[in-house]
Each structure stands twice: as C-alpha cells, then as structure tokens.
Amino acid sequence: MDNLNKLWLSTGLANFELGQVIMMLVGCGLLYLAIARKFEPLLLLPMGFGAVLTNIPMAGFSEAGGFLSYVYHGGIETGIFPLIIFMGVGAMTDFGALIANPKTLLLGAAAQTGIFVTLFGAIALNAVPGIEFTLKDASAIAIIGGADGPTAIFLATKLAPELLGAIAVAAYSYMALVPIIQPPIMRALTTLEERKIEMAQLRPVTKIEKVIFPLGVLLMTIFFLPAATPLVGMFCLGNLMRESGVVDRLSSTAQNELINITTILLGLGVGSKLSAEAFLNVETLGILALGAIAFSIGTASGVLMAKVMNKFSKVPINPLIGAAGVSAVPMAARVANKVGLEANPHNFLLMHAMGPNVAGVLGSAVAAGILLALVG
Amino acid sequence: MNSMAEQFLEAGTLMVTGMVVVFAFLSLLILFITTVLAKLAVKFPDTIAPSTNRSNKKHNKAASGEISPAIVAAISGSINRYRQKHSQQNSKK
C-alpha cells in the first residue's frame, strides 16, 4: 500500500497545481495559434511547447539542472540566442531598397515613436493596483513597439528578465497580428488618393555600396551608440557575409541551419519563462495591452511621417510605406503592398516598403541601444 | 504620487532624448549613403556582364577545343530525359 501511495505521489495527476494547468493551456493556445492559425509558427510552436514542458510537475525542466534552465541561462540570459538570430536576419536582409531610397530611414525612425510613447503608458499603469513597473520594466515593455522579436528578448533579458515571458509572447503575437492590426490604422490615416500614389522605380544599387553599408553602419554605431553594437554588430556581420559574396557557405549557414537551431532553443527558452507565478498576474495583462498600443502608435507614426514627407518631397511617396517602418520584416512591407494594391491594382509597393522595413530593424536596434545606455 | 510624477518626468526625458538620437543617427546614415556610398558607386560601378551576342558567338566557336555550354546543356537534358523515361519504365514494371 505504501508503494502504491508513493507511486501515486510521483504521478503528474497527484502533483498538478491549478497554475500549472492554466499555463499548460496557455502553451496549448500558443501551439494552436502556431499550427492552426500559422501565427509566427517558427517561434510560437517551440515557445508553446516550452511552456507545456516547463509546467510539468516533478519533471524539473526549468529548475536548476533542468534542460530548459540550461537553455535559458546559456542562451537567453547571456544574450547569445537573440544575437545569433540577429546575425541570421542580417544575412537575410537586402539593403538595396534602403540604399536606393535613403530617405526611407526617416520612416524607420518615426515608427520608433511607438516605443518611447509606450514608456509613458507603462508608467501610467502604475496607477492600477497590483502593477508596479520601474523605468527598466517600462523600457523593456516599450520595445515591443519596435516589432522586433530578438531585440525585445535581448532588451528584456538585460532590463527586466522577470517579464521576459510576457514580453516575448506579446512581441511575437503582435508581430503575427501585423496583417490585422496595421491595415485599419493605415486606411484611417490616409485618403484613397494617397493610397493610390505610385512611386518611381528604384535605382540599381552597386555591389560596393552593399558591401560598405554594413561597415559604415557599424562604424557609426561604434562612434555614437556603442550600447547598440551587440545587436547592430551581429546584424552587420550577417549582412557583410551575405553581400561580400566570398563566404557563401557561412552566409547560408547563418540564414538557414544556425538561425533554425537557435530559433528552436530560443523558443523553448522563452517558453520556460512562462510559469504560472511569472505570467498569471495583472502585469501580464498590462504588458499585452501596452504592446498593442506601442504597435499601433508605431504604425501610425510611420504613416504620418510618410504623409509629411510626401507633402515636401519632389518625388511622390505613398504614405502606406510608412507603416512598414515598424520592423516585422517582411510582413509589414507585404501589408503595405497589399493595402496599396487594394486602392490601385497596378501599384506594387513591396520593394519601396522594404526600405522603411529594414530601416525599422536598424531603428529598433538603435532605440534598444539608447534604452540600454540610459536605463540599463 | 510624487515618485510617479518623477517617473513621468524621467519617461518624458527618455522619450525626447530617444527620439532625437534615433532621428539623428538615422539622418547621419542618410548622409553617409548620399555622400560616401554614392561616390563609391560612381567610382566603382558594377562590372557589366558580357552581352548575349558575344556569348552566342562563343557558343558557335565550339570548334576551338572547348565544349560550348549550349551543347553541354543539350546533352545533359537528353541524358535526364533518357533517365526519367528509363526509370518510369522500370517503375511500371
């Protein structure tokens, strides 16, 4: 009888706590979004599964010595995984559209307004009982507005590791929801005539420009914002590997095998932070709400900036491409293209929107560097 | 309440500083692209790929000893077609 009792006590059924069950359901919810709705499946699937694993009673996945604790401490706490992903993203990014139309960098800058305005929102939420965000917490939450997963995770691990799970879930969920969140804002802030604007064809960009560009960006970051060099540096390394054309094998590894392996581990590691005590609280609701606000303000700021630029520019600029200033590459650019096509079936904005889109990646990395330098 | 006002002030300062630095940094990048990169592009234009006419002539000069790429492509295509046909026949069996 004693042995039977011991066996019962070692089962999951005897040890389940309500919080764990709820978090497993949250994990299953993420799996559903990834598999059935195809929302950022590359990250939400391992993240959802990580959430399930970490909440298994008696298994100790996230306790000291557990597999997920090693993954978290080794790859996420150290900042290694987000940086490797950033290198892979750099290797996948073509800056041609940006170099051909450098003014679009201003759209990438404008879209970062979402990040900094959300800081206010996070501080204002302190008025709600049960919520107490410090400026570091607020900064880590605000970066969700940059719509850049690796940047959000990198900053959250540095400034507010206890909020990492909620911030990562919010960041990736909203990135997946770009096609739903952005179009209504874009339509509300532009007229049909503006959405119909066709843009001039981009000039061809030479190889030397593409090779020197990442080096120039790195040099500027070293001079003016060294706090952003981990992110920008790895991004530029990946991009240089791509554009130099002499290390195709490394470039291919960075944008395929390496980024894939890292994505699996990053997802599992972030999922391991989805424990009941860290996730099931009012602060998580606040973070989810603030993320949506940050994202919407970023989109709106980009569109408004593009409208202003269109007023003063000699060549026409379709304001829709401003929405691509939030990074979310290439989803935001595709959304701009789609909304443009709805207004004018002959208007292909994809390449034009890629400029602000990659500018947004740089912009959010710079914003993260500023927050690290001033708050970290 | 006082500390919240202080936090708001801090957040405000951070917002203004952050936006100014983001715009300044990316504006410098615009300057870099329009000056340095533009000059480099003029000085080191991409080498122009050989025209198709020239390559056609080369194809015709197969007698010079090298096997023309067109002939290689034709032979490879024939071998592939033969293999596909052969494998289909085998699979039917």
CB spacing of A224 vs B28 below 8 angstroms: yes
What are φ and ψ of residue B64, in 5° steps? Answer: -70, 0
Q: What is the distance between the alpha carbons of residues A137 and A225, in angstroms, rounded to a whole number? A: 21
SS3 label, residue A237? helix
CA distance B52 to chain A (A): 20
Q: CB distance B18–A112 less than 8 Å? A: yes
Q: Is the pLDDT of residue A247 over 50?
A: yes
Instruction: Write out the two tokens for A182.
Output: 């952005």
Contact A116 B23 (CB under 8 A): no
High-pLDDT (> 70) share of chain A, %: 100
The whole-number pLDDT of residue B5 equals 86
Q: Residue B48's pLDDT is what?
A: 66
Average pLDDT, chain A: 93
pLDDT of residue B93: 43
Which has the higher per-residue pLDDT, B30 or A38?
Answer: B30
Q: Which sign, positive or negative, has the C-alpha torsion A304, A351, A106, A110?
A: positive
Closest by Cα among A117, A82, A126, A66 to A266: A82
Contact check, Cβ <8 Å, B29/A102:
yes
Whether residue B23 and residue A359 make contact (CB cut-off 8 A), yes or no, is: no
Chain B contacts of A102, Cβ < 8 Å?
A: 29-30, 33-34
pLDDT 10s digits, A301-356: 999 999 999 999 999 999 999 999 998 888 999 999 999 999 999 999 999 999 99
Contacts of A367 in chain B (CB under 8 A): 18, 22
In chain A, the residue whose alpha carbon lies closest to the alpha carbon of B46 is A206
pLDDT (tens digit, 9 = 90+) per residue, A258-270? 999 999 999 999 9
pLDDT for res A129? 86
| pLDDT tens over chain B, length 93 residues | 568 888 889 889 999 999 999 999 999 999 999 999 999 999 999 876 555 555 444 444 444 455 677 777 778 778 877 777 766 555 544
Task: Write out chain B residues lying below 8 Å of A142, CB-based.
Answer: none
Q: Within the 25-84 window of chain B, which residues sit less than 8 Å (CB to CB) from chain A?
A: 25-30, 32-34, 36-37, 40-41, 44-46
Contacts of B4 in chain A (CB under 8 A): 123, 126-127
- Write out the two tokens for A352: 């034009």
Determine which of A6-15, A284-293, B41-50 has the lowest per-residue pLDDT on average.
Answer: B41-50
pLDDT greater than 80 at residue A57: yes
Q: Give the gyration radius of chain B's Cα atoms.
A: 32
- Identify the weakest region by mean pLDDT among A108-122, A224-238, B47-61: B47-61
Determine the Cα–Cα distance for residues A103 and B33; give it in Å rounded to an integer. Answer: 10
pLDDT at B92: 46
pLDDT digits (tens, 9 = 90+) for A161-219: 999 999 998 998 888 889 999 999 999 999 999 999 999 999 999 999 999 999 999 99
Lowest mean pLDDT segment, chosen from A83-97, A112-126, A301-315, B66-80: B66-80
Q: Does B20 touch chain A (CB under 8 A)?
A: no
Note the pLDDT of residue A235: 97
Rg (CA), chain A: 22
Contact B22 A366 (CB under 8 A): yes
Domain boundaries, chain B: 2-45+65-92
Residues in contact with A226: Cβ distance below 8 Å, sequence separation at least 6, in sequence order: A369
What's the whole-number mean pLDDT along residues A104-120?
93
| Nearest in space to A228 (alpha carbons), one of A109, A351, A49, A376 | A376
Please indicate whether, in this complex, the C-beta atoms of A208 and B12 are within 8 angstroms of each other.
no
Query: What is the distance between the alpha carbons of residues A142 and A152, in angstroms, rounded to a whole number?
Result: 9
CA distance B37 to chain A (A): 5
- For A66, counting Cβ atoms within 10 Å of its Cβ (0-12 exposed, 13-18 middle, 19+ buried), the class is middle
Between residues A88 and B57, which one has the greater pLDDT?
A: A88
Amino acid at B26: L
